[in-house]
Amino acid sequence: MSSWPGPGDGVGPAVTCRPEGSTSPGRMTRVVVEQIGAFVVGMIILPLRRSVAKLVVFTLVMGCYSVNMSSETTAGARPTRQQERRAQTVREIKGLAMEQIRQGGPDALSLTGIVREMSMSPAAVYRYFANRDALLADLVVDAYDELADALEGLDSAEGPEQRLDAVLRGTRGWALQHPNAYRLIFQTSIGSGADFAADRLIPAASRSMAVLVEALAAVGEGAEAPRTHKPGAVADAGAIAASLPDGIAGVFTPWAERSGLAGYPTGVLVLALLTWTRLHGIISLELGGHLAATGIGADTLFELEVGAIRAEAVALPALLAAAVAAAAVPAAD
Amino acid sequence: MSSWPGPGDGVGPAVTCRPEGSTSPGRMTRVVVEQIGAFVVGMIILPLRRSVAKLVVFTLVMGCYSVNMSSETTAGARPTRQQERRAQTVREIKGLAMEQIRQGGPDALSLTGIVREMSMSPAAVYRYFANRDALLADLVVDAYDELADALEGLDSAEGPEQRLDAVLRGTRGWALQHPNAYRLIFQTSIGSGADFAADRLIPAASRSMAVLVEALAAVGEGAEAPRTHKPGAVADAGAIAASLPDGIAGVFTPWAERSGLAGYPTGVLVLALLTWTRLHGIISLELGGHLAATGIGADTLFELEVGAIRAEAVALPALLAAAVAAAAVPAAD
């Protein structure tokens, strides 16, 4: 398991009530608390008596339990007709949610609006998603999966550098084709995983980060002999590795271990994270219309950054070797 | 005049009705059209008869004319009591607007809410800002000015590299201190200048871009002799210049000329634009809480990028010289 930057420790688990969910007592307590919270809002609208409301909350919770139980007992078997209907409803809810987000951004997502559109009862939607954040988290996981599918499905390239270029271009290409999914991941607090659903976001995010790290590392491995791309370019100098302060490895170790990337050199990990922030800088400004305003094509700026990242990936091994060698020799003064 | 990326040609002018505004006929037509549009909304709320509405629109337009005229005739003189009151009201409107944005983002900005807060009549606010976008554009210009003030006011540094570091850190520091102003500039369509107020945004944006370009160029000028920052770093290789395709200069010329940066080498301009997108990548992810989730301090990632940019700025002159020399020699095959 590796990941795009993942959340720290102590982050709460997802609280969606779905077949693949865990049924631990702590988790169910959260589901109950969140569903009660959601239901209090519902009661303002619906003229239900309190006793009826309690009954409905109880039914919802038991519904979660029974669905989770049934999914465990039928693991591996053909989905039942009921499960198929449920999956279809979830797809429909997500489709309407993405349409709301397309029209008005993540803030526009409204369970009430979806309920109205689907002619469901307000309470029924909570059988599928415990609350709005749970639905958002599901959409973020879907988006991460789609990005990873796009990157893993890239045509095999000529060599490691062409492969790296393809991964970088593939990331931008996916973002431009799915701007709302991209914004959902990288421009919402749900996407950050800081306060919600970290247990599902880290594995989902890990797939695309792994593709990037592998591509960067492969360029370095294929570049042990000095090589030149352009007049004046010397292979054994890369801006990032040149600036690595002593002891930086320890800072990256916890994230690398948590993400299954501990085997990679620190220089590759640093370059991978900075590649992520650099791509995000260009892509988010492009999506916001800020690059078009310069009159310089986003393609041009992006390709220049691709070239910069590629050159740094090529230069990393020699630089790291030099840094190790220098560290073994006592300083002159 | 230089700029952060500025809008392309054919972009409409600002339409605020303010003392420093132009009074060209085309501009006033826009003011009339926009004020009528705003007023139609007002009429839904206010029980005014149509003839009264027409009179008020006429009064507003003439008010704009007279204010503009009076500012021209009193240029250089001490502001009148009326002008002081007007400036005070504008400050108050902007203060309330920034408070709305602080609480709910740029989308939360509402002229109606400001009118209510200030106990003004709905029509009166249009004497100060033609519409919501005009107010937003003013806030963006203010934000750009504050960023430039912060960068221009940095303590004088030891040398060019320390100066560059200070400019990069100063940009992030300002963004962290003024996250809403930062988002207003770089995360709203008004901030992009693509469709509004380009004539005021370009000069405002130019000041901070000029500080960055000058700092990058100064590092290159002070780095003509090869120098080493860290073991393994060779000065005459920079990732960006190594990746400059032939003929890239022409792509940057229109923007550079429009921004008063035509005297700088293309490599410096490219590095300046990529520095902007890179800083935005880290800063926007940091503001969104996405970096905290990695467990790797934003300080660390940012300093690594500062080091990378510094190393590239140092390497640029030698690389550009090598590229020029190579271009003069026929290719071997």
Task: Report the percentage of chain B scoring pLDDT > 90.
Answer: 32
Residue B2 included in any domain: no
Confidence of residue B122 (pLDDT cuts 50, 70, 90): confident
Task: Kindly provide the b/e burial profile for residues B46-81, where b requires at least 16 CB atoms within 10 angstroms of the residue's own CB.
Answer: eeeeeeebeebbeebbeebeebbeebeeeeeeeeee
B214 and B317 housed in the same domain: yes
Chain B interface, best mutation among A294, A303, A316, A319, by max B CB count within 10 A? A294
Helical axes A81-104 vs A179-186, angle rounded to 10° = 90
Same domain, A160 and A267: yes
pLDDT at position B252: 84
Give me the pLDDT at residue B302, please. Answer: 95
Domain stops at, among A73, A99, A129: A129
Q: What is the mean pLDDT of residues B160-171?
A: 96
The CATH number covering residue B204 comes to 1.10.357.10
Residue B8 falls within a domain, yes or no? no
Question: Rounded mean pLDDT of B95-122?
Answer: 88
A290 vs B234: CB contact, 8 Å cut-off?
no
What's residue A44's pLDDT? 32
The verdict on a CB contact (< 8 Å) between A5 and B290 is yes
Clarify whether residues A158 and A301 are in a common domain: yes
Q: Minimal Cα–Cα distance from A223 to chain B, Å?
A: 15
Same domain, residue pair B35 and B175 = no
Q: Are residues B65 and B162 in the same domain?
A: no
Total tally of structural domains belonging to chain A: 2
Cα separation, B15 vs B30, in Å, equals: 7
CB A3 within 8 A of CB A212: no
CA B137 to chain centre: 10
Q: What is the DSSP string of A203-238?
A: HHHHHHHHHHHHHHHHHHHTT-S---SSTT--TT--
Same domain, B121 and B257: no
CB neighbours of B29 closer than 8 A, spacing ≥ 6? none
Chain B residue at shortest CA distance from A2: B294
Task: Looking at the complex, report in whole angstroms how far the Cα of residue A99 sits from the nearest Cα belonging to chain B.
Answer: 19
How does DSSP classify residue A80?
A: P
Predicted confidence at residue A69, as pLDDT, reads 34
- Tens of pLDDT, residue by residue over B190-245, are 666 655 667 778 778 888 999 999 999 999 886 543 333 333 333 333 566 666 66
Q: Does any CB of chain B come closer than 8 Å to the CB of residue A108?
A: no
Contact residues for A217 (Cβ-Cβ < 8 A; gap 6+): A264, A265, A268
| Last residue of one domain, picked from the residues B103, B129, B155 | B129
> Does A230 contact B244 at a Cβ distance shorter than 8 Å?
yes
Q: Is A187 exposed, middle or buried (0-12, 13-18, 19+ CB in 10 A)?
A: buried
Within-domain flag for B61: yes
pLDDT at B251: 83
Confidence category of residue B1, pLDDT binned at 50, 70, 90: very low
Per-residue pLDDT, A192: 67
Q: Which residue has the higher pLDDT, A44 or B25?
A: B25
Of chain A, the end-to-end C-alpha distance in Å amounts to 45
A120 in the same domain as A166 = no
pLDDT on residue B32? 36
- Long-range pairs of B222-226 with CB within 8 A, sequence gap ≥ 24: B222/B159, B222/B160, B222/B161, B223/B160, B223/B313, B223/B314, B223/B315, B223/B317, B223/B318, B224/B317, B224/B318, B226/B318
Q: What angle do CA A254, A259, A262 make, to 5 degrees?
A: 65
Q: Which of residues 47-106 of A touch B (CB under 8 A)?
A: none
B-contacting residues of A 110-169, CB under 8 Å? Answer: none
Residue B170: inside a domain? yes
Q: Are B307 and A244 inside 8 Å of each other by CB?
A: yes
Locus of tokens 């989770």? A68
Residues A190/A184, Cβ–Cβ less than 8 Å: yes
The amino acid occupying position B118 is: M
In the numeric block, which tokens belong to residue A156?
């095999």
Residue in chain A closest to B191 (alpha carbons) equals A290
Q: Which of residues 219-248 of B touch A (CB under 8 A)?
A: 229-245, 248
> Is B47 among the domain residues?
yes
pLDDT for A70 equals: 36
- Please check whether residue A67 lies inside any domain of the structure: yes
* Predicted local confidence at residue B87, as pLDDT: 94
> Between residues B104 and B94, which one has the greater pLDDT?
B94
* Residues of chain A found within 8 Å of residue B282, distances taken between Cβ atoms: 277, 281
Of the three residues A105, A129, A153, the one that is the final residue of a domain is A129
Residue A94's pLDDT is what?
Answer: 95
B278: which chain A residues are within 8 Å (Cβ-Cβ)? 274, 277-278, 281
Which residues form the domain of B152?
Answer: 140-328
Single-letter code of the amino acid located at B110: S
Residue with structure tokens 């720290």?
Answer: A8
User: What is the pLDDT tens value at each position of chain A, 333 positions in all?
Assistant: 334 554 333 333 333 333 333 333 444 334 333 333 333 333 333 333 444 344 433 333 333 333 333 333 445 678 889 999 999 999 999 999 999 988 888 888 888 899 899 988 888 888 999 888 889 989 999 999 999 999 999 987 789 999 999 999 999 999 999 999 999 988 877 766 655 667 778 778 888 999 999 999 999 886 543 333 333 333 333 566 666 666 777 888 888 887 788 888 888 999 999 999 999 999 999 998 888 777 888 999 999 999 999 988 988 877 666 666 655 544 443
Do B165 and B310 lie in one domain? The reply is yes
Nearest to B243 among A274, A297, A304 (CB): A304
CA distance A80 to chain B (A): 39
Chain B residues with CB inside 8 Å of A319's CB? 232-233
Q: Mark whether A180 and A306 lie in a shared domain.
A: yes
Q: Give the contacts of A225 (CB within 8 A, at least 6 positions apart).
A: none
Residue-level pLDDT at A108: 85
Residues A74 and A177 in one domain: no
**Could you say which of B243, B254, B277 has the minimum Cβ distance to residue A307?**
B243
pLDDT at B150: 96
Which among A128, A272, A132, A270 has a CA at the least distance from the CA of A210? Answer: A272
In a domain, A296, yes or no: yes
B301 and B152 housed in the same domain? yes
In a domain, B310, yes or no: yes
Q: Are residues A158 and A266 in the same domain?
A: yes
| B286 neighbors A289 (Cβ within 8 angstroms) | no
Q: Tens digit of pLDDT for each residue in B241-266?
A: 666 666 777 888 888 887 788 888 88
ipTM over 0.90: no
Task: For tokens 């916890």, name the residue.
Answer: A254
